[in-house]
Chains A and B, each alone.
Chain A
Amino acid sequence: MNAKDYYTEHRRLVLGVFSVIFLVAAWELLLTYVFPVNPFFFTKPSLIAEAFKEQVQGAKLWHDLAISSRAFLWGFSFAVIVGIPLGLVMGWRRRVEYALDPFLTAMYASPLVALAPLLIIVFGVGVLGKAALVFLLSVFPFVFNVFAGVKSTDALLINVIRSFGGTDKDLYFKVILPSTMPYLIAGARLAIGRGLVGIIVGEFYAASEGIGFAISQAGDTYRLPDMFVGIIILSVIAVVLTEAMRRLELTVAPWRAGEEVR
């Protein structure tokens, strides 16, 4: 295979990699030769790389990551456990929908991070307070996406199940749940983003450890390269999780694979 064939086949990858390399190089060169600014106010890739190397070898970064992950996983798991059944029931039972909709819609639309101080007062500065914030931010995408998924279930398929004598349980497990799956995963993608915001805000606001705390502390003490290390690690995590969701969608919703345009 020659270079040109390789390019046509992997155009997406090649162009993506080139643009990242170009951006990083431009940033570095610009700050080194064109505007050599004070490193207290801005930083450049080579310094970030150095800080990164140092942090990866140390223990603090890993400790912070573990602390933040724990709070994230607790909050996110509860969002899954509460959000999915709630969305299912709301989509399936009109009365539940009418009863909960105004309340949940108002909650979803409001900037819930504003509740961070309250949650920290109630649940404390430890894992619990942060997990509560993650939960609050990430539960609604699950509720509303699952709800929308149930609502969009093809009525014909429901008739098909009924015509073969299927029960309500069959309807849930053989039609409603599978057809809601793509919505659920889209919801999970949103929830991941919001949950990460929850962690960071919680740790900015009140914490003594965790990746969000590390970022804000580095900022407070003008250690910009260290701050960027935290930010970059966070965005890598976000990208990996989002990509994992996309892969998951292709496995649980293979019939949609054919629809994907590349």
Chain B
Amino acid sequence: MRRPLAKMPPFIRANDITLVFKSKNRDPVTALNNLSFEIERGEFVSIVGPSGCGKSTFLNMLLGLVRPDSGHMQMNGTPIKGPGQERAMVFQEFGLLPWRTVTANVELGLELKGVAAAQRTQRAMELIKLVGLNGFERHYPHELSGGMKQRVGLARALATEPEVLLMDEPFAALDAQTRDLMQAELLQIWERTKKTVLFVTHSIEEAAYLSDRVIVMTARPGRTKQIIDINLPRPRDYEMRLTPEFNEIKSRIWEVLKEELIPGSRR
């Protein structure tokens, strides 16, 4: 997945991003400090890092909801200034509208972009099928399990045909078995749709299993500490997780991450 031509700009590029949260009566919090990295088209990249190091903040920036104090973010060579069709987020807490059925939730993004009703319903049906929710089109979110809700979140994000899928701990709220299942499905969908995925997780196992590369961030203020290539063959399956190679990669990530987790061990 390396660039064929050295001249071509990277697909996504974050350069020296700094963000400070300032609020009255409290000390400012530097969430991100000189964070930089590049991502190629079609890559699956995970971000791991200690809690509070600014991962969600960074995804929200890429989504266009938060502006950095300094630094540049580009996609396809153009600066990211706000939300855009080519980026969509799958939220940890799902973010489904409780008063809408599954279909209407999946249609949301299309509706906001002004796609005609008949067309968006058809598109929603395709995606509901893709994420395996057929038969639940007219259910409301409160009638679904956590895994099903996240499938709706995924279908909604995919519906607008973004080039980049931003995922903020999308499976953290799921039980272990459902998570395994969703990971496998995500990989299949990724392989089929060729999206670029930026995936935040706390699970080293999850990061290693899914990704082409894993970005390990430092404790707050967040920066790129190290980027680890995962050179495991694809398609990957559950059995792969039992191989010594996989475990070796996991421990390499852990070695880098643990320095940030144990207070005082840094510097």
CB of B33 within 8 Å of the partner chain: no
CB of B143 within 8 Å of the partner chain: yes
Interface readout for A78-96 with B: 1 if CB under 8 Å, 0 if not?
A: 0000000000000000000
CB of B48 within 8 Å of the partner chain: no
Interface of B is mostly: loop
CB of A152 within 8 Å of the partner chain: no
CB of B63 within 8 Å of the partner chain: yes
Q: Is the CB of B160 within 8 A of A254?
A: no
Which residue from B64, B95, B97, B143 sits with its C-beta under 8 Å from A174? B97
Asked, given contacts A160-B91, A163-B83, whether A253 binds B65 with beta carbons under 8 Å apart, the answer is no
Which residue from B108, B112, B140 sits with its C-beta under 8 Å from A254? B140
Q: Is the CB of B65 within 8 A of A163?
A: yes
Q: Which of A239-261 contact B (CB under 8 A)?
A: 253-255, 258-259
Asked, given contacts A163-B64, A163-B89, A165-B83, whether A175 binds B143 with beta carbons under 8 Å apart, the answer is no
CB of B109 within 8 Å of the partner chain: yes
Q: Which of A151-171 contact B (CB under 8 A)?
A: 156-157, 159-166, 170
Q: Is the CB of A178 within 8 A of B143?
A: no
CB of B132 within 8 Å of the partner chain: no
Which residue from B87, B89, B99, B160 sits with its C-beta under 8 Å from A255? B99
Q: Is the CB of A175 within 8 A of B83?
A: no
Q: Is the CB of B142 within 8 A of A258?
A: yes
B82 contacts across to A, CB distance below 8 A: 165
CA distance A156 to B63 in the complex (A): 14
Q: Is the CB of A254 within 8 A of B99?
A: yes
Q: Is the CB of B142 within 8 A of A164?
A: no
B91 contacts across to A, CB distance below 8 A: 156, 159-160
Which residue from B84, B87, B108 sits with its C-beta under 8 Å from A160? B108
Which residue from A156, A162, A178, A253 sits with its C-beta under 8 Å from B83? A162
Q: Write the nearest CB–CB distance from B159 to chain A, whole angstroms.
A: 10
CA distance A178 to B143 in the complex (A): 18
CB of B24 within 8 Å of the partner chain: no
- For chain A, the count of residues having a C-beta within 8 Å of the partner chain is 21
Interface of A is mostly: helix
Q: Is the CB of B97 within 8 A of A164?
A: no
A156 contacts across to B, CB distance below 8 A: 91, 93, 95
Q: Is the CB of A178 within 8 A of B99?
A: yes
Interface readout for B93-132 with A: 1 if CB under 8 Å, 0 if not?
A: 1010111000000001100110000000000000000000
CB of B88 within 8 Å of the partner chain: yes
Which residue from A157, A164, A179 sits with its C-beta under 8 Å from B109? A164
Q: Taking each of A159, A179, A259, which has the highest tally of chain B beta carbons within 10 Å of its own beta carbon? A: A159
CA distance A175 to B111 in the complex (A): 13
A174 contacts across to B, CB distance below 8 A: 97, 108, 112
CA distance A174 to B108 in the complex (A): 9
B97 contacts across to A, CB distance below 8 A: 157, 160, 174-175, 178
Q: Is the CB of B88 within 8 A of A163?
A: yes
Q: Taking each of B85, B91, B143, B160, which has the highest tally of chain A beta carbons within 10 Å of its own beta carbon? A: B91
CB of B141 within 8 Å of the partner chain: yes
B89 contacts across to A, CB distance below 8 A: 160, 163
B142 contacts across to A, CB distance below 8 A: 255, 258-259
CA distance A82 to B80 in the complex (A): 41
Report the nearest B residue to A170, measured CB to CB. B112
Q: Is the CB of B93 within 8 A of A166?
A: no
Q: Is the CB of B108 within 8 A of A164?
A: yes
Q: Which 7 A-B pairs have the closest CB atoms?
A: A255-B98, A164-B109, A160-B95, A164-B112, A178-B99, A166-B112, A258-B142
Q: List 8 A-B contacts (CB under 8 A).
A: A160-B108, A163-B87, A164-B88, A165-B112, A165-B113, A166-B112, A254-B99, A258-B140
Chain B residues with CB under 8 Å of chain A are: 60, 63-65, 82-85, 87-89, 91, 93, 95, 97-99, 108-109, 112-113, 140-143, 160
Given contacts A156-B91, A164-B109, 6 further A-B contacts (CB under 8 A): A163-B83, A164-B112, A175-B97, A181-B99, A255-B99, A258-B143
